[in-house]
Structure 1
Amino acid sequence: MKVAVMGAGAVGCYYGGMLARAGHEVVLIARAQHVEAIERDGLRLDTQTFDEQVRLSASTEASAVHGAKLILVCVKSTDTDSAAQAIAPYLAADTLVLSLQNGVENAVRLRELLPQEVAAAVVYVASEMAGPGHIRHHGRGELVIEPSSASEEIAKTLRDAGVPTEISDNVRGALWSKLVLNCAYNALSALSQMPYGKLVQGEGVTHAMRDVVDECMAVAKAEGVTMPGDVDAAVRRIAETMPNQFSSTAQDMARGKRSEIDHLNGLIVRRGEALGVPTPANRMLHVLVKLVESRTN
């Protein structure tokens, strides 16, 4: 299968690398420094169980998605519109577009911008770009994807590549569950520049996270969202299963990049205002991250 990864950062490089390692034709659309390193040496896939140089294609041009049966959209939520517009002229009618993004609105937006079939996915992976063309995997890696015309084939392809993949009729609920996790951890990890395991040991942190989660749950209930599983247990599990992981927001902040905070705690604040649900803890985290970002952007 030809697979293109639009926005090959820590998430895109991990899943693209796993598919390439399994023998699929993969092209990563990435920043120039990563493309140069990958073209020269391959993608270094540095995981908990193996460390290999994986050969695959890379390009800085959106046109490289041409001919792909599956597109993994892994750009930041802030770049969803521009990414869709960039790849639109090169997609075949039967291409499946799979959104592997944080937040709960990206697949909806992609459907508004692209005529191709779009499916949402929930991503549970701890990874980071450790250097140009070097992806470091800290743990997990499973996907939950929406049903689609090709979901069974795609799920099998991913499983065969070593990516645990589940098809769910309630991806919306799963996306909201992931949003709650991100709201609990991302801003605090960013502001403290601490990994999850150390973060939760801080004085008052778990109580503050409890306030954030309660607000998120209240907004989700007002939205009519049914979240699967035990969300509170999932929040606790993150620090246990990904103790060395810094949030994507922390990684963005450390690099002086704009984060997705508007689509995380910021979304909870906006939806809370619209639905009449108070969200003071999420508002404070959103404001603080935006203030720190304003020093470097």
Structure 2
Amino acid sequence: MLRLLMVGAGGIGGYYAARLLDAGHEVVLTARGAHLSALRENGLTVRYGAREMVSQPDVVDHQQLVFRYQPDDFDVILIALKATATASVANELGAWLGQGRSPVLSLQNGVDNEPLLAEAIGANRVFGGLAIRIGGHIVAPGIIEAEGVAQIVMGRWPKTGDRPDSRDELLQRLAAGFNESGIPTSLSDNIRYELWRKLVINNGVNPLSALTGLDTRSLTHHPEFAKVVYGMMAETVVASRADQVNLTQKDLDEMFELISNFNAIKTSMLIDREKGRPMELESIAGAVLRRCEAMGVQAPYTFLVNALLRASENRAGLR
């Protein structure tokens, strides 16, 4: 049995927590506001296709977490918050995390979460991770709907070294526990490479979907917008050179084919815009633009879409 802390009980964290709880693992969740109140009162309900998973986990806010638990009460601490919250969470929980040795596994969008966590608690305690082919959203406080294969890829940050590491045994345990819980999980010896491949997809469809209101399939099969998607993905491949990841044309074409054949889903950025919430622009488009600027190269597709979305946030008073 695994003992886990899921920091963030939104669409992604809530879905994975429900799977793990249903399989008999111990999972403590963090949440806030109306979602926190509903989870405490009615439990967690996750709808996935024709299946409905209902559980009664312990749910706390960050203040209660620090008061009631120690980091080493958990085998692993998972973070499934918006990437825009990583810096503030590292600051808010950094002293608490520093009291223990349990690894922290990020399941967030972008390529900047692991470096932030490594700076806060040390790279030897950071696992990189990504959720693939999953759409998950809170449809009402305490209720989540999810779809997709919902895979996880994880590994030591930033990649596995030549020497065996004590963390490898824990990663194997995690992967086994996740797979047995119905979460298809694999381990990577170069997780930074995997994170950049996912960013290729995220930058290709997330900002443009928020701008146009179209789902992923509509974008990738549109006669004009498909070219913009491909262009933004190509700019992400170029940006990867700044991190010495050096994605290739093969990576670009594989990621475009993957998202083109995926279910028609509303991206998280589109849903955030519809609900009037800040979007993960800095973590997705911003990550690409910062690196391209540092290398002195242009990213015109990403620059334009990002600028239009920033302007919309400014008009809405979200910046």
After TM superposition, is the score higher than 0.5?
yes
| Equivalent runs, 1:49-64 vs 2, <5 Å | 49-64=50-65
| Structure 1 residue corresponding to 2:129, chosen from 121, 134, 145 | 121
C-alpha separation in 2, matches of 1:205 and 1:78: 27
1:203 is displaced (CA, Å) by 3.9
Alignment-derived partner of residue 78 in structure 1: 84
Unaligned residue ranges in structure 2 (runs of 5+): 157-166
Q: For 2:141, give the aligned amino acid.
A: P
Tell whether the 8 Å contact from 2:18 to 2:54 is kept in structure 1 after alignment: no
Q: Contact between 2:237 and 2:252, CA under 8 Å: does it hold in 1? A: no
Tell me what 2:36 maps to.
35
Gap change, CA 1:212 and 1:39, over 3 Å in 2:
same
Distance 1:63 1:231, change over 3 A: farther
- How far apart, CA to CA, are the structure 2 residues paired with 1:62 and 1:106? 22
Specify the alignment match of 2:145 in structure 1.
136
Partners of 1:86 and 1:224 in 2: CA distance: 31
| Residue 77 of structure 1: how far off its partner (Å) | 1.9
Per the alignment, residue 184 of structure 1 pairs with 204
Shift of 1:263: 1.5
Q: Helix, strand or coil for the counterpart of 1:140? A: coil
Could you say what secondary structure the match of 2:261 adopts? helix
Q: How many residues align?
A: 296
Q: Which range moved further: 120-129 or 141-150?
A: 141-150
Aligned to 1:103: 110
Query: How far apart are residue 63 of structure 1 and its match?
Result: 4.0
The 3-state SS of whatever aligns with 1:242 is coil
Counterpart Cα distance in 1 of 2:242 and 2:108:
23
Question: What displacement does 1:62 show?
Answer: 4.6
* Counterpart code for 1:154: L
SS of the aligned residue for 1:53 comes to strand
Match of residue 162 from structure 2: none
CA contact (8 A) 2:237 2:246 kept: no
Letter in 1 for 2:285: N
Q: Secondary structure at the match of 1:119?
A: strand
Q: 1:214-225 to 2 correspondence within 5 Å?
A: 214-221=234-241, 223-225=243-245
Answer whether contact 1:77 1:102 (CA < 8 A) is retained: yes
- 8 A Cα contact 1:121 1:171, kept in partner: yes
- TM-score normalized with structure 2 length: 0.87
Match of residue 278 from structure 2: 258
Amino acid at match of 1:206: A
**Identical counterparts, % of pairs:** 29
Matches of 2:146 and 2:152, distance apart in 1: 15
Deviations 1:64-108 (A, max 9, x none): 262222111112222112212322344452311001111101111
Contact map agreement 2:152 2:186 (CA 8 A) in 1: yes
Deviations 1:97-132 (A, max 9, x none): 001111101111101112471111021121111111
Report the AA paired with residue 131 of structure 1: A
Report the TM-score when normalising by structure 1.
Answer: 0.93
Tell me the C-alpha RMSD between the 2 structures. Answer: 1.9
Q: Which residue of 1 aligns with 2:257?
A: 236
Separation in structure 1 between the aligned mates of residue 86 and residue 199 of structure 2, nearest angstrom: 17
